[in-house]
Amino acid sequence: MLQLIQDLNSGETGLIEIPIPKPQSGTVLIKTHRSLVSLGTERMLVEFGKANYLQKARQQPEKVKQVIQKIQSDGLKPTMQAVFRKLGEPIPLGYSNAGEVIAVGEGVNEFKIGDRVVSNGHHAEIVCVPKNLVAKIPDEVSFEEASFTVIGAIALQGIRLLNPLFGETIVVTGLGLIGLIAAQLLHAHGCRVIGLDIDDKKLSLAESWGITTLKITPDIDPVAFVKYESQSIGADAVLITASSKSNTIISQAANMCRKRGRIVLTGVIPLNIQRSDFYEKELTFQVSCSYGPGRYDTEYEQKGLDYPISYVRWTEKRNFEAVLHALATKKLLVKPLITEIVPLNDYLQIYGDLKNHQSIASILKYEASVPMDPSIMVGYPKSFKGQKGVIGVIGAGNFTASTILPALSKLNAEIKSIASSKGLSGTILAKKFSIQQSTTNVEHP
């Protein structure tokens, strides 16, 4: 099967053939029909990959601190080897996937083969996703619409933290994909929504839904505009969905809020907060974490342990389901956001120049049938000498990459297969160390 990856060394995006993943306990195997490209997030990954080492360090100062600490504890050489090895590992792209279930793992009772589902799976022909990150698609919702679910859940989680009340004035700063979805959901909630952006096309879309808009230009004061539109009260809350390197956005958000207003960040901006901006008004500020409660919790995401609904009403999966309900009832309209639908093999139409790509929403479609073969040849066919033992490796983690395979390579060991749970890490190591086969099936010869 094919999967879209990002090379963090070169910044190049490409398709790679990897083995079909096997459904593990508590997971669902999904054949992808559509996946939504998160242009903001994926543009940042591409720009990071194309940056030189100094630029990479400047973009991630917290990682630099970790490297310095590792040098102090482990020494310079092993630290640099670990850093370059990490940068040499391509990462899978995508996290908003819609498709149909083709297999379920042990312990999964809520899904069956043939179910139409959404997940946070990657841009790949087949994905294996834990059950708490999968939700059923209502009959009224198409695969194209359903592919917006995970992005929509990011917007919805920001709104939940904002805690808007009917009739309040809410400013959405940045009308990208998340901002436009958030503006619709806030409008459906009965709020007076003001959208700020620099793009005429996005502003026009927001206006068509009854949202008050302002185009940001150097000679426009958004604070004065918000105060005018709110009868000098100021905004009750501001949702920042913009991506910027400027400190202006957070300062403007504070200045346009009324006393005891709320600010929630789902975008990516510097957090150089001026105490005076927040102190005098007793403003609250919170950063939203992705799709909602459960995110990055191994017990919830990987082991399938749900939070009791009486204590945690909205988990990330329940946020998925709420977005799907909004799509089914037409409270959320996403078809106007779709700029292009591109076959997976033509991915360069989207990724060829992401920096200047003007799309609002780009969707990848998957049409080829995928053979359910648990292993592939990765381009290093070779014969094995009868007098030497032939080795198979199970596991493609850091220790295998940094210690086991380099040692075996120095010994000229004959390695036939390497097995990994999802296929990507094993395939990368197979190519690097000239291993004949990459597989997800440990029983494969």
User: What's the average model confidence in pLDDT over 175-194?
Assistant: 96
At a CB cut-off of 8 Å and minimum separation 6, what does 194 contact?
A: 169, 170, 171, 172, 211, 212, 213, 214, 225, 226, 229, 235
Fold topology of 2-148+334-365: Quinone Oxidoreductase; Chain A, domain 1 (3.90.180)
Query: Cα–Cα distances in Å, from 391 out to 19, 186, 412, 422?
Result: 19, 58, 11, 20
Mean pLDDT check: name the lowest of 36-40, 68-72, 390-394: 68-72
Query: Cα–Cα distances in Å, from 260 out to 220, 234, 256, 394?
Result: 25, 11, 12, 56
The residue among 421 and 236 whose pLDDT is bigger is: 236
Position 375 scores a pLDDT of 58
Residue 143, classed as helix, strand or coil, is: helix
Position 54 scores a pLDDT of 61
| Residue 81: pLDDT over 80 | no
**What is the band of 382 on the pLDDT scale with cuts at 50, 70, 90?**
low
Q: Quick check: 71 and 95 in contact, CB under 8 A?
A: no
Domains 2-148+334-365 and 168-287 share a fold: no
Q: Please state which of the four CATH numbers 3.30.70.1170, 3.40.50.720, 1.10.10.10, 3.90.550.10 is assigned to the domain occupying 375-439.
A: 3.40.50.720
| Nearest alpha carbon to residue 34 among 175, 142, 184 | 142
Q: Quick check: 385 and 65 in contact, CB under 8 A?
A: no
Mean pLDDT check: name the lowest of 35-49, 246-260, 322-336: 35-49
Per-residue model confidence as pLDDT tens digits over 141-170: 999 999 999 999 999 999 999 999 999 999
Fold topology of 168-287: Rossmann fold (3.40.50)
Task: Please state, in angstroms and rounded to a whole number, the distance separating the CA atoms of residues 20 and 31.
Answer: 10
CA 112 from centre of chain: 26
Position 179 scores a pLDDT of 96
| Residue 295: pLDDT over 70 | yes
| 375-377 sheet: strands from edge to edge | 375-377, 437-439, 414-419, 390-394
**What is the band of 11 on the pLDDT scale with cuts at 50, 70, 90?**
confident
Task: Please state, in angstroms and rounded to a whole number, the distance separating the CA atoms of residues 302 and 130.
Answer: 6
**E strands, 253-296, where?**
257-265, 284-287
| Nearest alpha carbon to residue 238 among 227, 333, 272, 318 | 227
| Nearest alpha carbon to residue 426 among 408, 442, 412, 410 | 442
Largest alpha-carbon pair distance within the chain? 87
pTM of the model: 0.87
| Nearest alpha carbon to residue 82 among 71, 91, 90 | 71
Task: Please state, in angstroms and rounded to a whole number, the distance separating the CA atoms of residues 296 and 299.
Answer: 9
| Residue 67: pLDDT over 80 | no
Task: Please state, in angstroms and rounded to a whole number, the distance separating the CA atoms of residues 338 and 359.
Answer: 8
| 257-265 sheet: strands from edge to edge | 212-215, 192-197, 169-173, 235-240, 257-265, 284-287
| Residue 100: pLDDT over 80 | yes
Q: Where are the domains of the chain?
A: 2-148+334-365, 168-287, 375-439
Per-residue model confidence as pLDDT tens digits over 396-418: 888 898 889 988 888 888 888 89
Per-residue model confidence as pLDDT tens digits over 213-248: 999 999 999 999 999 999 999 999 999 999 888 889
In this structure, the strands spanning 27-37 and 97-104 are antiparallel
Percentage of the chain lying above the pLDDT 90 cut: 60
Position 12 scores a pLDDT of 81
